[in-house]
Structure 1
Amino acid sequence: FAAVSGNSLDTDKEVLLNLKSFLEEQNRVNRGRYTEWNERSSNPCEWYGILCSNGEARIIGIDLSDSNISGEKFNNFSALTHLQHLDLSKNTLNGVILDDLNRCHNLVYLKLSHNILGGELMLTGLTGLEKLDLSTNRFHGEVKFSFPAICHKLVVANLSMNNFWGSIDYFDGCWNLQYLDLSSNNFSGNIWTGFATLIEFSVAENYFTGSVPAASCFMENCTVQILDLYIRKQIPE
């Protein structure tokens, strides 16, 4: 299908119909409720899983979680120029996060958890993100290509149950973070000192060494309510 760039609800509708065709092509059986999207309907804001803004009536949200979607990701989400909320969790999406997603500059909520996505994480274009959930996938490598680039407004980050490695010092610039879950990865090095805004912090099932620094926010002047530092004993070769 031809790429569409939306500047109205009509063009947003065309993008969604392209998405529907893409998903139906990749998923021949056990399809989700996106099959109910009907081109004869004049108002896509009434479609399943779609959220529109008031007033201007543009598509700002897509929730296709648990929709029996498999295969690679759609490559034209950025044509939905007002998109703020994208939830594709609990599917079997594979491959890597495509560059197109980095052009969704208005995204504030991205949830891709419980898929089989992989590759290195490069989300440098999503500088407005407030909530990010990539847990239970197959991402690997260091996080330095995305953090602190997308930290400006980030409040919640869940990267647990992946294969990330290296230092977590790259989160030092994420001053607004309140919930950070990096558990069940291959991170290593010294325990991070954190900062005062954190409420929940987990790095359980990683390979950190040393003790919690005395100057850490986990020792004094701290708002942390949940702290999980359980460390794996053996560093992988």
Structure 2
Amino acid sequence: MFTTCIHSSDSKIHCNEKDKQILLNFKNGAIDPSGLLSTWFSQQDCCHWYGVVCHNFTSRVTQLNLPCSFINGYGYNNFIDKSHCLSGDIPISLLQMEFLEHLDLSNHDFLAMTYNSMNNLSLGNLPYQCGNSSSLHYLDLLGNLNLLIHNLEWLSSASSLKYIDLSGIDLRTETNWVQLMAMLPSLSELYLVDCHLDNMSPSLHFANFTALEVLDLSVNAIYSEVPNWLFNLTCDISYIYLDNNLLRGELPKAMPNFQVLKYLVLSNNDLNGPIPDCLGKLEHLTYLDLSSNLFSGPLPINLGNLSSLVALKARSNYFTGVVSEKHFTNLSNLKFLFVESPNIIFDFDLHWIPPFQLDGVFLGPVGPKPPQWLYTQTSLKSLGFANSKFSFETGDKFGVLYPKLNFSNWWATQ
């Protein structure tokens, strides 16, 4: 158990002097307009400083929790006021603290990571051997949009890292990031959202991730085929986010190592070809988003076997063929169904009663009347139809659903 140390008056255990000097060095290189580090002065035990957590018995610093709270906005890349956040430099010595396990400097406005004993050379010019952070498990630098990081070789010495979030930091000059991250044997969560990555090493066949469970590479400029190494992972990955990139090509016909996969988000790319039948064999899949791609061919019927599926999103593609109740046979947990393509034909049995109750649905094109099974859905909060030509007549039983729907979320384009 790790908590902020509180010592009795006769305690002989105090903050480690080396830890204190590293923290003071960090303070001296930081611009602190709101006084976030105002409790940090040398006369006081550093275990009592704001954001510092020490071990109960050794008093060695184990955590530094200093995220910047938002005043306005809802995300790191929205327009927000950071005038109260820390700026300046992050000394690499912070990552060298012998017992530091958790470092959170998210959403500040730091400009560079420096190594002071080497005349403040930029981190990008340092040999990776300079770092020694074997205890570090958690690293969160999310949202430091102006932070200059030329390369990630310094992470190679942080072999205990389990969680990394560098989202919002420009990493376009780092072309070897896949191999570097794969060298971390304990890494289980990796977030590189909006990092201007433009390469996923598509020709690399294997990346030796051994513990990876979450991979989020959304909102980058990745212009390549879907990489071989991603579908050859031998670890039990559960969450993959590749949305809002420029990925192209077809999905592989087999995904033998994705048996525990829960989330697969591929929306807003240029992926094409048919949806492989192997997706219908991922029995733990709960969220599947294929929207806004160039997928074609029929929607696989065996998607109806995914009994854990909560959301099926397949809007804005070029699917063909018939979609019927056979596609949804065992989807008893389904809450969101978005299937729309200009050449798709919806043909449901008039007497079919779905095994699910939806919160949201978007279909198209349908007509001349809404599918009869929609009348069984009593939990709808949003309803939409694309390229559909029909109208509701006075007294139509579909009007029973009107009180349950938010009209701002209802539409039928013609």
Q: Shared fold by TM > 0.5?
A: yes
Q: Tell me if 1:227 matches 2:264.
A: yes
Give the secondary-structure state (helix, strand or coil) at the position aligned to 1:35. coil
2:18 is aligned to: 11
In the superposition, relative to structure 1, how do residues 171 and 107 fare at CA in structure 2: closer, same or farther (>3 Å)? Answer: farther
1:196 Cα shift?
A: 5.4
* Among candidates 195, 199, 202, match of residue 241 of structure 2: 202
- Structure 2, unmatched stretches of 5+, are 1-14, 69-83, 115-122, 272-414
Aligned-residue Cα RMSD (Å) equals: 2.6
2:250 is aligned to: 211
Q: Which amino acid aligns with 2:215?
A: L
* Among candidates 50, 73, 90, match of residue 73 of structure 1: 90
Q: Which amino acid aligns with 1:53?
A: H
1:145 Cα shift?
A: 5.4
Q: Verify the 8 A CA contact 1:147 1:170 in the aligned structure 2.
A: no
Following superposition of structure 1 onto structure 2, how do residues 159-198 of structure 1 map, counting pairs within 5 Å? 159-168=192-201, 169=204, 172-187=207-222, 188-191=224-227, 192-193=230-231, 194-195=233-234, 197-198=236-237
Matched pairs, number: 219
Q: Which amino acid aligns with 1:103?
A: N
Q: Verify the 8 A CA contact 2:225 2:247 in the aligned structure 1.
A: yes
Which has the larger Rg?
2
Matches of 2:205 and 2:59, distance apart in 1: 38
Matches of 1:10 and 1:110, distance apart in 2: 23
Deviations 1:139-177 (A, max 9, x none): 113214523222x00010001111112225587311211
Runs of 4+ in 1 over 4 A off after TM superposition: 168-171
**TM-score by structure 2 length?**
0.48
Deviations 1:7-51 (A, max 9, x none): x7122122222222222xxx2x6234212113221x221211011
- Structure 1, unmatched stretches of 5+, are 1-7
In the superposition, relative to structure 1, how do residues 129 and 68 fare at CA in structure 2: closer, same or farther (>3 Å)? Answer: same
Matches of 1:30 and 1:166, distance apart in 2: 38
Q: Answer 1 or 2: higher relative contact order, Cα 8 Å, separation at least 6.
A: 1
In the superposition, relative to structure 1, how do residues 18 and 167 fare at CA in structure 2: closer, same or farther (>3 Å)? Answer: closer
Identity over aligned pairs, percent: 24
Following superposition of structure 1 onto structure 2, how do residues 1-237 of structure 1 map, counting pairs within 5 Å? 9-23=16-30, 27=31, 30-41=33-44, 43-66=45-68, 68-95=85-112, 98=123, 99=126, 102-115=131-144, 116-118=146-148, 119-122=150-153, 123-140=155-172, 141-142=174-175, 143-144=177-178, 146-150=180-184, 152-168=185-201, 169=204, 172-187=207-222, 188-191=224-227, 192-193=230-231, 194-195=233-234, 197-217=236-256, 222-233=259-270
**TM-score by structure 1 length?**
0.81
In the superposition, relative to structure 1, how do residues 32 and 114 fare at CA in structure 2: closer, same or farther (>3 Å)? Answer: farther
